[in-house]
Amino acid sequence: MSCKPFFYFSPSTDPFVNLAIEQTLLMQLKENQSGLLLYTNKPCVVMGRFQNPWYELNISSCLANNIEIVRRQSGGGTVFHDLGNLNFCFLHGSRDYQKDFNYKVIQEGLKLFGVDTHIEGDTNLFVGDKKISGSAFKQKKDRSFHHGTLLIKSNLEHLNYYIKRIITEIELVKGIKSRPRTVINLHDIDPRITHESLIQALKKSFQQNMNKELVTLDHIQGDEDYQLHLKNEDWLWGETPLFKMKWNNLSYEVKKNKVLSVEGNKDHQDCGQSFHTLFNGRHK
């Protein structure tokens, strides 16, 4: 890959493939090189690196309806993806993920449709009082990325259904909580905003702001080992930070998907077991 800024739209709708493409592009970056990746995923929920799926998700409904559950490498909150959602990833060959530049590209792209946006809390884009985009970030020693979502014509009922905590008696000892906001689809603001039109607008804005010749990449192969890593239960469930939960009239302490203790019964048979296996087997 040359040192010129690049653009790539992934034809895949597999969340594991697209996160692996992010990883491939990140690791191939040259010093001070920048790129923009866009992609769309089939219905799935994607949680932040330090989040608890039992706290954030309607897990049983996700599993019953074949909604993929994914843990990404960046921080931040949980998001719902579907074919009405466009995902972006700005990649930079420096530790600085250039948040202001990235937001400028998105805001100027949306301005082409006459849509004015403002930033709230460093990670969200709003139109008026409704959220249309959320972001997360990842920094390495000499490279970084800023990725996020743009709601175009997403199923908001599904969004609110699958990203919904159904376990009430749960305490996060460590980890990050999502902060739900009222959302709106961009297509409802301006029907001219479709996947095709927004992709072209963002590509145009990125090139104008880079003020350099832009290379459009033909095909990127996502790192297959990284896909396997994302699907591994030790990553998906096992990276869950310490939490406590009341369930079946018992109090569980769980860390990295392992039951550490069951209150009132130190010799309880569940100690040392996979909490996900126990929960999925009994909570149906």
Sorted by where each begins, the domain ranges of the chain are 6-235, 242-282
pLDDT for the residue numbered 210: 96
* DSSP annotation of 248: T
3-state class (DSSP) for residue 56: helix
CATH architecture for residues 6-235: 2-Layer Sandwich (3.30)
Residue 84 has pLDDT above 80, yes or no: yes
Q: Picking from 79-88, 222-231, 250-259, 268-277, which range would have the lowest pLDDT averaged per residue? A: 268-277
Q: Picking from 14-18, 83-87, 212-216, which range would have the lowest pLDDT averaged per residue? A: 212-216
Q: Tell me the pTM.
A: 0.93
Phi-psi region of 82 (alpha: psi -120 to 50; beta: other; left: phi over 0): beta
d(CA 41, CA 128): 27
Instruction: Pinpoint the alpha helices (H) of the chain.
Output: 15-28, 53-56, 59-64, 99-111, 156-162, 186-189, 195-210, 224-231, 233-236, 275-282
Residue 169 has pLDDT above 60, yes or no: yes
3-state class (DSSP) for residue 66: coil
Span 7-60, pLDDT tens digits: 999 999 999 999 999 999 999 999 999 999 999 999 999 999 999 999 999 999
Asked if residue 270 lies in contact with residue 278, where contact means CB atoms within 8 angstroms, the answer is yes
- The burial class, CB within 10 Å (0-12 / 13-18 / 19+), for 151 is buried
